[in-house]
Amino acid sequence: MTTLPTPQGRLTANRRLNDLTWLRVGGPADYLFQPADLEDLQAFLHHLPAEVPVFPMGVGSNLIVRDGGLRAVVIRLGRGFNGIAVDGTTVTAGAAALDAHVARKAADAGVDLTFLRTIPGSIGGAVRMNAGCYGSYTADVLKSATIVTRQGELVELTPADLNFRYRQSDLPEGAVLVSATFQGPAGDPADLHARMEAQLKKRDETQPTKDRSAGSTFRNPAGFSSTGRADDVHDLKAWKVIDDAGMRGARRGGAQMSPKHSNFLINTGNATAADLEGLGEEVRKKVYETSGITLEWEIMRVGDPLTD
């Protein structure tokens, strides 16, 4: 049996992950590691046997962990990795800082990172997925990101290193993102806060924010943007092709495509990960049959299915 390093932080064996994801599903990880601080994380990764897989996990807002769990050390950053500092129009945030908190603190200082306000999750996930909305993206404002490599080294990455694409970026295998620095446009704090309030109102009117979901389920179909770049300003939306396929409100077990917004997969109360992923695959199949479009998952799915 592989021996793991003894860290200063918390290392828990056979830890179920369902309570750490917004969809509240998922089996156990072999281990869950919550580092005490940056040095603890570096030392742990440096001494961790190379054959042991690592899976960095944010707040679980965009994630399905399959019912059989995850054969890896799941690393979840907490206190010590959620600081936010503003210097002029430069904002540096720990990877565990919530997107909404960063947007608000930046607005207080007259820095426009308002697009982050309605994005669920933390800064680490925003960088990893090049999160964005309203035509603005993490890639547009990122100056640099700091990671701890699988070998425990602290490395600063540029936007070019990350190779940002629509809902994607490149990070070294097993690396854990620990902080990011942004350069945002200047703005009037009152105007920025008013804009965010309007965005929240619009979101609550159009999205099932009171239901248990993981945000948008599928990316908007690529190649259908009049702007010439793959982004959220697509002429053809995922929800539209799902509607056209007759899958709004579709159910499988405890999973449902939201009647309020058909690109939101929700846990109605007793869904398994298999229910959720299975319904998503049914939607993809039906959309392909009716439109010839292959929807791509925006929600990350990891781990093993449950076996008998």
Residue range 2-22, pLDDT digits in tens: 789 999 999 999 999 999 999
What number is the average pLDDT over the span 58-70? Answer: 95
Short-list 38, 61, 239, CA closest to 146 = 38
Active site residue 225: no
Active site residue 298: yes
Can you give the pLDDT at residue 229? 44
- This prediction has a pTM of 0.91
Topology, domain 209-302:
3.90.78
Q: How far is CA 301 from CA 52, 55, 225, 261, in A?
A: 20, 12, 26, 21
Can you give the pLDDT at residue 115? 95
pLDDT reading at 225 higher than 60: no
**CATH second-level architecture of 84-190?**
2-Layer Sandwich (3.30)
Fold match flag (10-76 vs 84-190): no
| Cβ neighbours of residue 194 closer than 8 Å, sequence gap 6 or more | none
Rounded-to-integer distance, Cα 253 and Cα 282, Å:
13
Active site residue 51: no
Identified catalytic residue from 136, 179, 252, 298:
298
Q: At 307, is the pLDDT very low, low, confident or very high (cuts 50, 70, 90)?
A: confident
- Indicate the domain borders of the chain: 10-76, 84-190, 209-302
Short-list 252, 261, 244, 303, CA closest to 280 = 252
pLDDT reading at 252 higher than 90: yes
**CATH second-level architecture of 10-76?**
2-Layer Sandwich (3.30)
Identified catalytic residue from 167, 195, 219, 284:
167
Q: At 228, is the pLDDT very low, low, confident or very high (cuts 50, 70, 90)?
A: very low
